[in-house]
Amino acid sequence: MLLPLEGVIDLHLLRADPSEVTRALARRGVDANLIEDIVELDVVHRSLLQRQETLRAEVKAISKEVGAAKKAGDETAAAALAEQSRRLGDEEREAAHEAELAGVALRNELLVLPNIPSSETPDGLGEADNVECSRWWPGSESGAPEPRYEEFQRVPHWEIGEQLGLLDLERAAKLSGSMFPLFRAQGSQLLRALGSYALQQHSDAYEEIRPPTLVLTETLMSTGHLPKFSDEAYALERDGLWAIPTAEVPLTSMHKDEILKEDELPRRFTAQTACFRREAGAAGRDTRGLLRLHEFDKVELFAYVTPDQAHEAHMDILRRAEQLLQDFGLYYRVLDLCCGDLGGSSARTFDLEVYAPGCDQWLEVSSISWFADYQARRANVRFRPADGGSIQFVHTVNGSALAWARIWAAIVENGRQADGSVVLPDVLSPYLNDTVIPAR
């Protein structure tokens, strides 16, 4: 299914001020020649559409003349006019074909064009240019020093998991290949407890959804994951379906092709799903344990909002994700991603990273993004202003709260005791048989 051109990016903005769009996207490293090519394709496409319409109008006018000539008994004139009509009809069909080809070419270029970054997004070309906003650790509010870790906490989670019967990566590989996890006993219970706790914490303001984990191509296109990131996704080609990389995908299209009322916004959803990613670019990266997986569980927060509500909705998801990390007692930092490290659909993103002492790494556990109207245009989700003004596209925001595999790893490493046991966060006690995993 082809998205309408107006459902790809704001063409009115591109036509009205191409130099501003070029300047803004240059901050993301987009070549100015690409914008120039798109503008030229748009001009050609509109010109061909106009020619098609002109020819169609001429054919209609001549058809009336044919009828009038026949009515007047002038068969010679009618035949000449009919021949002219057939010739113009052939030209119209050719113009329509050329317009369709130009439209496809234009759409293909627009589909991979990233979102315009927020003016507040830091400049930079890669992750080294991301801006650290803050750090939190237990007691940091009262001036406690940064955590110091004991040697018994410097054991990586994959070793702890194997020792305590929590994680069985060898059998997981036997079942599915590498980078798929298999949790066992209290390790599996911990994973379930994390999701249950988070969903309960979000239930005050976010409607819980259990969406499908297989979606149509157009659903994955609506978020911007297709066509650019097709190599990262799992496709079921026989059925025309894709395994979702995040619950953001089905949640974004919950109200596809609908017009909401302003007083219905914001509309907030939360969902826990399995997430599937091929990790096609993982070669050379650390893939031990749970650091990089093809399948993992994640709770997502998502909202449709008006432009005026977007900032507060974005910050609400950030606060909730941070609160969970604080509830778990994990040392974390907040990064404001630079333009060059933004996801293609995002206008601004904050990443949360927890410190895992056994891996001695900062692990990304949440990306919290404001997409402006980029995804809503692709999914065609709009709202009718309460004051009766023109119908507008909603804005979308979303973030993980949280992605559990790396949280699981950080909790197990942080909670390891000198005797080899693991102490789990107290807040999870209602969802666990015991908050202590005994040593073996």
Distance CA 422, CA 249 (A): 35
User: Distance of CA 214 to CAs 143, 270, 409, 428, Å?
Assistant: 47, 17, 27, 30
For the sheet with 382-384, list strands across it.
Answer: 259-261, 382-384, 392-393
Global pTM value: 0.92
**DSSP secondary structure string for all residues of 369-405:** EE-TTHHHHHHT-EEE-TTS---EE-EEEEEEEEEHH
The tokens describing 111, both together, are 């589909």
Distance CA 286, CA 66 (A): 75
The answer to whether 394 touches 383, Cβ cutoff 8 Å, is yes
| Residue whose C-alpha is closest to residue 233's, from 194, 196, 281 | 281
- Amino acid identity at 297: D
Bridge-based pairing of strands 392-393 and 382-384 is: antiparallel
Instruction: List all residues 6 or more positions away from 110 whose beta carbon is below 8 Å from its beta carbon.
Output: 5, 8, 9, 38
pLDDT in tens, the chain (440 residues): 455 555 677 888 899 999 999 999 999 999 999 999 999 999 999 999 999 999 989 988 998 888 888 888 888 888 888 888 889 989 999 999 999 999 999 988 988 899 999 999 999 989 999 999 999 999 999 999 999 999 999 999 999 999 999 999 999 999 999 999 999 999 999 999 999 999 999 999 999 999 999 999 999 999 999 988 889 999 999 999 999 999 999 999 999 999 999 999 999 999 999 999 998 776 667 889 999 999 999 999 999 999 999 999 999 999 999 999 999 999 999 999 999 999 999 999 999 999 999 999 999 999 999 999 999 999 999 999 999 889 999 999 999 999 999 999 999 999 999 999 999 999 999 999 999 999 99
Contacts 24+ apart (CB under 8 A), 169-172: 169/289
Burial 365-400 (b: 16+ CB within 10 A, else e): bbbbbbbbbbbbbbbbbbbbeeeeeeebbbbbbbbb
Distance CA 147, CA 143 (A): 12
Q: Identify the structural domains of the chain with CATH numbers, from first to last.
A: 5-111 (1.10.287.40), 127-437 (3.30.930.10)
